[in-house]
Structure 1
Amino acid sequence: MKHIRNSFFFLIFSFLVLTGLSGNLFSQGNTTADVKDSRNILPEKKRAEVMNQWLEWRLDHIIPMLMRRENIDLWLIINREYNEDPVYMSLVPEPTMAARRTSILMFYDRGEEKGIERLSGSYYGMGKWYRTTWEDKKKKQFESLADFIKKINPKKIGINVSPTFRFGDGLTASMKENLEQALGPELSSRFVSAENLCLGWLETRSPQELSVYRHICGIAHDIIAEFFSNEVITPDITTTDDVVWWIRQKYTDLGLDTWFQPSVSIQRYEKTAEKYKENPEVIRRGDLLHCDIGIKYLGLCTDMQWQAYVCKTGEDDAPEGIKKALDRALKVADIFMNEFRVGRTGNEITDTAMKKAAEAGLRPLIYSHPLGFHGHAAGCSMDARDPESAPEGIRTEMEYTLHYNTCYAIEFSSITSVPEWGGQDVRIGFEEDGVFTKDGCHFIDG
């Protein structure tokens, strides 16, 4: 199926072919190539309204489910201004910018009939969102907190401490010491780690978030389609750094945030690389480009890696060997995503997918991660890299299991020998955003 758009070719998934000679765009398979999501970015006030609607639903539906799943009666989030717990900003409404002095949030499960009560032990009130418990300001903050906890007498008190998960380890040593001193040894003995509650809260997407995530990924795809085109790249003039800073400026112009510096790199036929070794950063005809970009919009992150081939003069398509390299990468994606099963650990998914891909004659390396409020987010990680190359302790983290309504950067590399490049190995760095629901794992934006 053909679509006219810009001056480059778009082949299959996450692969563009740049040419200065044609205005055609070729698409194989399902694509949203003609959708301009970047034209529909909301103004700040509307963004805040949407995010607060999402938050209200999440607090009403996700918190009760997770607290009962983890069998926690009272969940405490205690942090200080500019040293926020990783979960804190996701629990408070817009336009909150930071914690205020020492901020304390509490979720108290009063049972199925009365439900979860949302409470604040902070100095400043939070309106309808959290009922204030520190009413007598003559009392010290932790004294007031202790009085309230003694009154409700919870059996299990969840605190955010974890030796394994950074997202479940937001309670500082000094705040924990203050809490223990205020509560005394008997109530402090009821502390349990709320690490899985933290992860569950951060990783679980609401129906509204899952719907709009398609639009957010579409914005990222629009940006990629624009900079991997002759609108931005002029072969033999434009450098990879030029493109990187074009991307950063585009984020600013659109009013988007990012969570890492984008990158653009070049793979080049070795004989051509020797010719251009004095200026290796200049984009040339015949280059295979790779980008890694991520935006943050409406509180949700994307993370994508796409490839683009720059046609030589007289070419209107990529060499067959490079297209085959992409085809093989797509086969890895199919194998990997088909191994997503609820209740499986990241270790089980990774090891099974790697084994099946190798049996299919592919040469992949998986290093996938959850997506959500953060880029390298909370949830089920999947990483097949050697211990010296992977994040320390990742195999322990990968014992966390897969849950429904969670999102991931489907990330891996796939290596293929390309005949047109003298049998040189070409690495496809593949990354596209996916979602796991009861219907299985699929790409968010088609």
Structure 2
Amino acid sequence: MVKHFFLRPKAFIYVFTFTLIFFLSLASLSSQDLNWEMSAVGDINKILPPEKQAEVYNEILAWRLDNLLPQIMRREGIELWLIICFEYAEDPVYRTLIVQPMMSARRLSILLFHDDPAEGFKKLTANWHGSSTCGPMYTSIFTEDYRKKGAEGQLQAVADYIRKKNPKNIGLNTAFHWEYFDDFSLGLGLSAFFKTKLEQALGPELSQKIVSAEKVCIGWLETRSPRELSLYRHLVGIGHDLIKEFFSNKVIIPDVTTADEVVWWIRKRLLSLGLEAWFQPSLDIIRSPENTERYGKQDRVIRRGDVLHCDVGFRYLGLATDMQHLAYVCRLGEADAPAGLKELLKKGNRLQEILMSEFKEGRTGNEILRAALKKGQAEGLNPRIYTHSVGFYGHNSGLTIGMVEKQEFVPGTGEHPLYPNTVYAIELSVTGEIPEWNKAKVTFGLEDQAVFTKEGCRWVDGYPRNFYLIK
């Protein structure tokens, strides 16, 4: 027998209200978990002097070499990893393996990492000047007897060591996938010249043990240590402080200041802070059709009613940032941006939320891309996703989630799995009509740093959910 249960009107209101609050609180909790709020603790005023930067960097490098690199080489099945390059023609990975204040290779430079089954993990060098040009953690195998033979002696020292140890394989920074380009592997730094010279020194039998170390390069470049994850909050905080400075009336006078003047203000500000801009900053003007007709398409003066889109990145403590934020230049009498522009920014934030919710350990970049685009399209966001790893480099090696021109499949690092303790530039865009601009279609590009750990994906130091306002 079915018993029917009825709620009195007053009780129904209580139950409905409780249920609504419960689900809203869950949504709020999910939003809070992403760490949306920016710290705003004045990180830009706490930049370390160069000598302290070098000290911190070298401590981190020593820890990474002892704790991360052996794990990555074992994961990828590489017993001996070899990096060979010339001064000013460095393998991009080489520069991440040497101490500061070394800024480049010196003459012919060679590093070897051997996960010796009998004697443990070894960090070796055959640099001409020994460990003084790469770091005290390296042991030189380039003795005076080899020095008499010049640069050939350096390669001979390597070949003799490999011949003596007879590792199961020799990982080189090259790849054997000729059917596609991989924009974000950074694992192809070995020149054809040095590969040939090494093979000559090794001989045909040992040369057969050469394999690609591309995945070791990716793992080394993308994986962050606990201390780096902590420092990234400080780095991103500096970036947020910088954007807040120039997206303000302190730098911009509406109808006077040009976008190019702001760009060069950013460059000079970075120089004054001792920070390295890894690309030229940009400032794009997004303008209503009415104002475009009034001022002309080539006008670079910042006008009232404009949306400003910046793209800024710098390197500090061996780590890079990459950010795109939005500002609105208020018309006289306005206190905020028009509702249509605010709604489009809200859609951008929603796409960020969708994408970060799809970060699951072991998923490939292409799997995350497909899942996020499907949800974004279902919600009418007109999404485009082109997210990449950040770390030693701004366009770092690691998992890639889409590219501007590849919204279905990215070969190579698009098929790379998601590992914990990795940091990303959550870069994407949404497109929508702006009612206040006669329904003109506008695209907003957004970008900032997020970290993926065992606990999930969250912002490193938040992201704006409102426009910076210039009055």
Do Structure 1 and Structure 2 share a fold, with TM-score over 0.5? yes
1:78–1:104 Cα contact (<8 Å) kept: yes
Shift in Å, 1:148: 1.1
Question: Is 1:94 matched up with 2:100?
Answer: yes
Q: Which AA in structure 2 matches 1:61?
A: N
Moved more, 215-224 or 124-133: 124-133
Once the two structures are superposed, the pairs formed by residues 205-216 of structure 1 within 5 Å of their partners are: 205-216=224-235
Shift in Å, 1:217: 0.5
Shift in Å, 1:100: 1.1
Decide which of 58, 65, 68 is 1:62's aligned counterpart.
68
Shift in Å, 1:441: 1.1
2:36–2:459 Cα contact (<8 Å) kept: no
Residue 132 of structure 1 is matched in structure 2 by 140
1:64–1:115 Cα contact (<8 Å) kept: no
Question: Is 1:76 matched up with 2:82?
Answer: yes
Q: Which AA in structure 2 matches 1:121?
A: A
Residue 160 of structure 2 is matched in structure 1 by 147
Give the Cα separation in 1 of the matches to 2:168 and 2:223. 26
Question: Is 1:186 matched up with 2:192?
Answer: no
Decide which of 444, 452, 456 is 1:436's aligned counterpart.
452
What SS does the corresponding residue of 1:118 show, helix, strand or coil?
strand
1:344–1:401 Cα contact (<8 Å) kept: yes
Q: Which AA in structure 1 matches 2:139?
A: R
Q: Which AA in structure 2 matches 1:122?
A: N
1:351–1:384 Cα contact (<8 Å) kept: no
Moved more, 244-253 or 393-402: 393-402
Decide which of 137, 162, 169 is 1:156's aligned counterpart.
169
- For structure 2, which runs of at least 5 residues remain unmatched after alignment? 1-34, 463-471
Shift in Å, 1:385: 3.8
Q: Which AA in structure 2 matches 1:260?
A: F
Any idea what the Cα deviations from partners look like across 1:270-320, whole Å, max 9, x if unmatched? 012111117621111111111010011111110000010111111111111
Once the two structures are superposed, the pairs formed by residues 15-54 of structure 1 within 5 Å of their partners are: 30-32=36-38, 34-54=40-60
Q: Which AA in structure 1 matches 2:232?
A: Y
Moved more, 113-122 or 296-305: 113-122
> TM-score under structure 2 normalisation?
0.85
Q: 1:147 to 1:118 in 2, by over 3 A?
A: same
Residue 318 of structure 1 is matched in structure 2 by 337
2:452–2:458 Cα contact (<8 Å) kept: yes
Give the Cα separation in 1 of the matches to 2:318 and 2:343. 37
Decide which of 386, 409, 418 is 1:367's aligned counterpart.
386
Moved more, 281-290 or 132-141: 132-141
Q: Which AA in structure 2 matches 1:145?
A: V
1:202–1:373 Cα contact (<8 Å) kept: yes
- For structure 1, which runs of at least 5 residues remain unmatched after alignment? 1-28
What SS does the corresponding residue of 1:417 show, helix, strand or coil?
strand
Moved more, 301-310 or 157-166: 157-166
What SS does the corresponding residue of 1:201 show, helix, strand or coil?
helix
1:104–1:121 Cα contact (<8 Å) kept: yes
Residue 123 of structure 2 is matched in structure 1 by 118
What SS does the corresponding residue of 1:98 show, helix, strand or coil?
coil
Shift in Å, 1:35: 1.6
Moved more, 377-386 or 194-203: 377-386
Residue 9 of structure 1 is matched in structure 2 by none
Residue 175 of structure 1 is matched in structure 2 by 194
What SS does the corresponding residue of 1:305 show, helix, strand or coil?
coil
> TM-score under structure 1 normalisation?
0.90
Q: 1:279 to 1:359 in 2, by over 3 A?
A: closer
Q: 1:237 to 1:32 in 2, by over 3 A?
A: same
Decide which of 384, 402, 413 is 2:429's aligned counterpart.
413
Q: Which AA in structure 1 matches 2:218?
A: L
Any idea what the Cα deviations from partners look like across 1:243-274, whole Å, max 9, x if unmatched? 00000010011110011110101111101211
2:173–2:214 Cα contact (<8 Å) kept: yes
Any idea what the Cα deviations from partners look like across 1:300-357, whole Å, max 9, x if unmatched? 1100000101111111111111111111111100111111111111111111110111
What SS does the corresponding residue of 1:95 show, helix, strand or coil?
coil
What SS does the corresponding residue of 1:379 show, helix, strand or coil?
coil
Moved more, 269-278 or 169-178: 269-278
Q: 1:405 to 1:85 in 2, by over 3 A?
A: same
Residue 322 of structure 2 is matched in structure 1 by 303
2:112–2:123 Cα contact (<8 Å) kept: yes
Shift in Å, 1:400: 1.4
Structure exhibiting the larger radius of gyration computed from Cα positions: 2
Q: Which AA in structure 2 matches 1:84?
A: E
Shift in Å, 1:397: 3.1
Q: Which has the higher strand share?
A: 1
Shift in Å, 1:30: 4.6
Shift in Å, 1:114: 4.0
Decide which of 272, 278, 284 is 2:303's aligned counterpart.
284
Give the Cα separation in 2 of the matches to 1:60 and 1:160. 20
2:287–2:305 Cα contact (<8 Å) kept: yes
Give the Cα separation in 2 of the matches to 1:343 and 1:31. 28
1:167–1:378 Cα contact (<8 Å) kept: yes
RMSD: 1.7
Give the Cα separation in 2 of the matches to 1:142 and 1:283. 58
Q: Which AA in structure 1 matches 2:140?
A: T
Give the Cα separation in 1 of the matches to 2:172 and 2:207. 10
Give the Cα separation in 2 of the matches to 1:49 and 1:396. 35
